[in-house]
Amino acid sequence: MNIYKYKARPIAGGKSVSGVLQAYSEFEAVEQIKNQSLVVEKITEVTEKQGIHVDLNEPLWVSEKVLSLTASQFAIMIRAGLPMSRVVELIAEQTSDKLMKRILTACAADVSAGYSLAQSLEKNGQKIPTTFIETVRAGEESGALETCFQRLKTYYEKSNRVKRKVKSALTYPIILLIMSFVVVGIVMVVLVPTMTSMFENMGADLPLPTRILLAISHFFTNGWPYLIVGLVVLIVGYKLYRKTPQGALTMGRFTLKIPVIGKIGIMNAASQFANTLSVLLTAGLPITQVITIIAKIMDNAAIAKTLSEAVVELESGQRLGKTLADNPYLPPMLVEMVGVGEETGELEETMDVIGAYYDEEAEAASAKAVGMLEPMMTIFLGVLVGFIVIAIYVPMFTMETMTGGAM
């Protein structure tokens, strides 16, 4: 619970009074003050500035694997009939993830104080996805919390499996790329400079490949500080720009237009949309709230914007399939299946099936991209090594020919 310091005056008039109270939110604190026949003049949250400990070993976010395991534990313990406060305590004790342990330990105290699990997660779990919290809230309101946790388990288990496969497929190309840069760096910084003086003493015009190689080596040897600074500035500038609404929107649109990469982004977005829609609808949330949540959690800002605009049409009475009909990013088959699901009254089941389909499509598109990347990198590395060999040996061969001719 949060601590609030306030200043208020009696409704009937009189001198202002000050005080301190505990509440889950500022809104609740104001309600408590009003119940005392007081009018709030000022209210501020009291933050604790002492006893702050940062665990450097704590993860930066809660992974899909941890979320899936946590949801599974909740479902099992709720089925066993344990009170919620005890359930949260037990899971907090059992989890090995430091971030989740800290979040659940704080939640256990709030739940014991009478707050719902969703309220405590919203307060303490800033690093937990909105989908998880809102599904828990819907489950509590509908009385189907166990079912919601089962769906969350499946949802995050599937998401973790897809990401793990993509990461595994990208491992070899990334290692190859790193090794290529290391080898080229060693050649440019160590090998070429040792041969520079020999080339300069030849007294003849060097061929173009050799002059290019020497210029590049000179840049790497003497200009590496500028290169590092330039890269840092570029990366920081890019990250700052991506954090702005316009920057995120521009980069989102640009990413979807890149050949191959754009298709992967669309397949991932379709999978994310369908799976999340299925989970939230099963939890019992209204369609407008579901699409609002999905728009907030979509990875691509351009797609998220189109979904936010669709909410306005949904609120005016339009059906979901019709609002998505003109969406320029979602695949036509996904939009068509949304309409079919609405017509048959089985939108949750339809999205579950189509979500599994787009999971496979995203995996296939990623595998295809990796399959194209490997030969391209091999060719690039071969051309680069060939260029270095030619640039080094052509002048040496010329020197040997001239020496042989003089003899």
Q: Which of 156, 191, 206 is the last residue of a domain?
A: 156
92 lies in some domain = yes
Residues 222 and 343 in one domain: yes
Task: Please give the structure tokens belonging to residue 108.
Answer: 């256990």
**pLDDT for the residue 400:** 60
Question: Which has the minimum average pLDDT: 38-47, 80-89, 273-282?
Answer: 38-47
Task: List the beta bridge partners of residue 38.
Answer: 10
Number of domains in the chain: 3
The answer to whether the CB of 152 falls within 8 A of the CB of 71 is yes
58 lies in some domain = no
Task: Please give the structure tokens belonging to residue 369.
Answer: 């991209």
Q: Which of 111, 130, 156 is the last residue of a domain?
A: 156
Spatial neighbors of 77 by CB under 8 A, at least 6 apart, are 87, 90, 91
369 lies in some domain = yes
Q: Which residue has the higher pLDDT, 54 or 304?
A: 304
% pLDDT > 90, the chain? 14
Spatial neighbors of 111 by CB under 8 A, at least 6 apart, are 84, 85, 88, 117, 120
320-344, pLDDT tens digit by residue?
999 998 888 999 999 999 999 999 9
Q: Which of 123, 156, 189 is the last residue of a domain?
A: 156
What is the residue range of 178's domain?
173-407
Q: Which CATH number is 41's domain given?
A: 3.10.20
Residues 366 and 218 in one domain: yes
Spatial separation of the C-alpha atoms in residues 73 and 79, rounded to whole Å: 10
The answer to whether the CB of 210 falls within 8 A of the CB of 388 is no
String of DSSP letters for 299-334: S-HHHHHHHHHHHHHHHTT--HHHHTTT-SSS-HHH
240 lies in some domain = yes
Q: How far apart are the first and last CA of the chain?
A: 94
Task: Please give the structure tokens belonging to residue 114.
Answer: 């009478």
95 lies in some domain = yes
Band the pLDDT of 54: cuts 50, 70, 90: very low
% pLDDT > 70, the chain? 91
209-250, pLDDT tens digit by residue?
888 888 888 777 777 788 889 989 999 998 888 888 888 899
Residues 295 and 214 in one domain: yes
166 lies in some domain = no
Residues 21 and 137 in one domain: no
β-strand pairing of 2-10 with 38-46: antiparallel
**pLDDT for the residue 407:** 42
Residues 189 and 276 in one domain: yes
**pLDDT for the residue 299:** 82
275 lies in some domain = yes
Q: Where are the alpha helices (DSSP H) in 143-260?
A: 145-186, 192-200, 208-222, 224-243, 245-257
**pLDDT for the residue 91:** 93
Task: List the beta bridge partners of residue 254.
Answer: none
pTM: 0.68
Q: Which amino acid is at 140?
A: E
Spatial neighbors of 298 by CB under 8 A, at least 6 apart, are 269, 272, 273, 304, 307
Task: Tell whether the model's pLDDT for residue 27 goes beyond 80.
Answer: no
Residues 27 and 79 in one domain: no
Band the pLDDT of 402: cuts 50, 70, 90: low
Residues 33 and 81 in one domain: no
Range 20-26, long-range pairs (CB < 8 A, 24+ positions) = 20/46, 24/110, 24/115, 24/119, 24/123, 25/123, 26/2
Closest CA to 281 of 128, 138, 118, 168: 138
Residues 31 and 105 in one domain: no
- In the β-sheet with 17-23, what is the strand arrangement from edge to edge? 17-23, 2-10, 38-46
**pLDDT for the residue 406:** 47
71 lies in some domain = yes
Spatial separation of the C-alpha atoms in residues 377 and 176, rounded to whole Å: 8
Residues 23 and 73 in one domain: no
Residues 193 and 329 in one domain: yes
Residues 269 and 334 in one domain: yes
Band the pLDDT of 201: cuts 50, 70, 90: low
Spatial neighbors of 62 by CB under 8 A, at least 6 apart, are 97, 99, 100, 103, 125, 127, 128, 129
Residues 135 and 210 in one domain: no
Q: Which CATH number is 185's domain given?
A: 1.20.81.30
Cα pseudo-dihedral 365, 368, 373, 379, rounded to 10: -160
Task: List the beta bridge partners of residue 376.
Answer: none
The arithmetic mean of pLDDT across residues 353-357, rounded, is 89
